[in-house]
């Protein structure tokens, strides 16, 4: 039985993956590193900031020292909110869907984004109060595609649903790496098509062809009857 829902943030609730790409691209350019849009979506989109910059440096054959990574992360986070708020785009149907499902299930955000970014943007769009749990980059040692963020989210959701099991939670993701993290943690998965085409997300238990605007509740409940 479905007992809770966990949402990725970037690309699922907020349509801002292009902002993250531009910031990473621009911050490593002075180092002589070129990150194309294809590079970002193929290699780095699933990572939280520190892991993304570390991998970019490694791929470019540069030393990924902690001080360099920390400086890049700090500068990206300094710029991010200003960039995101300049043209904030909420994914279609989210403003209506989140309040509706929060009346029936506890909700979590499970993301590689910084907690301050998640909190600020959810407050800005008026949805912060609907989420019982937020797991951000600072809350786990290993970020996605490791299972740790979802394991932590399930643990915290037990404050609302005692003895909650991972298989009783639906994770909604937009990337192959995010789906992998959720599956590794034992959650059921659904994919939205905001960032990748359906063929790249075929490992999801469900594809949300119409996003949140026509949510396939019949298929979702059938999926959870199998657990």
Written as six digits, the tokens of 114 are 């910084």
User: Whole-angstrom Cα distance, residue 87 to residue 139?
Assistant: 28
Tell me, rounded to whole angstroms, the distance of Cα 5 from its chain centroid.
Answer: 13
Residue 12's nearest CA partner among 202, 191, 184, 154 is: 191
pLDDT at 87: 85
Residues 6+ positions from 133 with CB-CB distance below 8 Å: 106, 107, 108, 109, 153, 156, 157
pLDDT at 156: 99
What's 34's DSSP letter?
Answer: -
Q: Name the CA dihedral angle for 118, 92, 185, 143, rounded to a multiple of 10 degrees.
A: -40
Read off φ and ψ for residue 172, nearest 5 degrees. Answer: -110, 120
pLDDT at 227: 60
Calculate the alpha carbon distances from 95 to 11, 90, 151, 203, 213 in Å.
Answer: 14, 8, 26, 27, 10
User: Whole-angstrom Cα distance, residue 116 to residue 112?
Assistant: 12
Looking up tokens 């937020």 gives: 134
Q: Name the CA dihedral angle for 5, 195, 176, 153, rounded to a multiple of 10 degrees.
A: -30
pLDDT at 208: 96
Mean pLDDT by runs of 10 across the 227 residues of the chain is 98 95 98 97 95 98 97 96 91 97 98 95 97 98 98 99 98 98 98 96 96 93 86
pLDDT at 226: 74
User: Whole-angstrom Cα distance, residue 3 to residue 170?
Assistant: 8
pLDDT at 159: 98
CATH number of 4-15+89-225: 3.40.50.1000
Instruction: Tell me the CATH number of domain 17-86, given options 2.50.20, 3.30.200, 1.20.140, 1.10.150.
Output: 1.10.150
CATH code 1.10.150 region(s) in the chain: 17-86
- Total-model pTM: 0.93
CATH code 3.40.50.1000 region(s) in the chain: 4-15+89-225
Written as six digits, the tokens of 168 are 């009783």
Written as six digits, the tokens of 41 are 């979506």
């Amino acid at each position: 039985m479905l007992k809770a829902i966990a949402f990725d943030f970037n690309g699922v609730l907020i349509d801002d993956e292009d902002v993250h790409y531009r910031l990473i691209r621009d911050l490593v350019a002075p180092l002589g590193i070129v990150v194309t849009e294809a590079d970002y979506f193929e290699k780095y989109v699933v990572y939280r900031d520190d892991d993304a910059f570390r991998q970019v440096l490694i791929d470019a054959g540069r030393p990924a020292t902690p001080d360099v990574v920390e400086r890049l992360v700090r500068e990206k986070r300094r710029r991010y909110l200003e960039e995101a708020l300049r043209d904030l785009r909420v994914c279609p149907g989210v403003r209506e869907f989140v309040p509706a499902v929060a009346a029936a299930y506890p909700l979590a955000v499970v993301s590689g984004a910084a907690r301050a970014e998640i909190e600020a943007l959810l407050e800005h769009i008026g949805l912060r109060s609907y989420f019982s749990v937020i797991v951000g980059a600072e809350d786990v040692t290993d970020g996605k595609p490791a299972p740790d963020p979802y394991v932590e989210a399930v643990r915290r959701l037990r404050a609302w649903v005692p003895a909650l099991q991972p298989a009783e939670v639906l994770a909604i993701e937009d990337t192959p790496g995010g789906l992998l993290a959720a599956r590794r943690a034992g959650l059921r998965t659904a994919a939205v098509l905001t960032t990748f085409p359906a063929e790249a997300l075929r490992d999801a238990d469900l594809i949300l062809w119409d996003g949140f605007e026509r949510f396939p509740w019949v298929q979702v409940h059938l999926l959870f009857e199998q657990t």
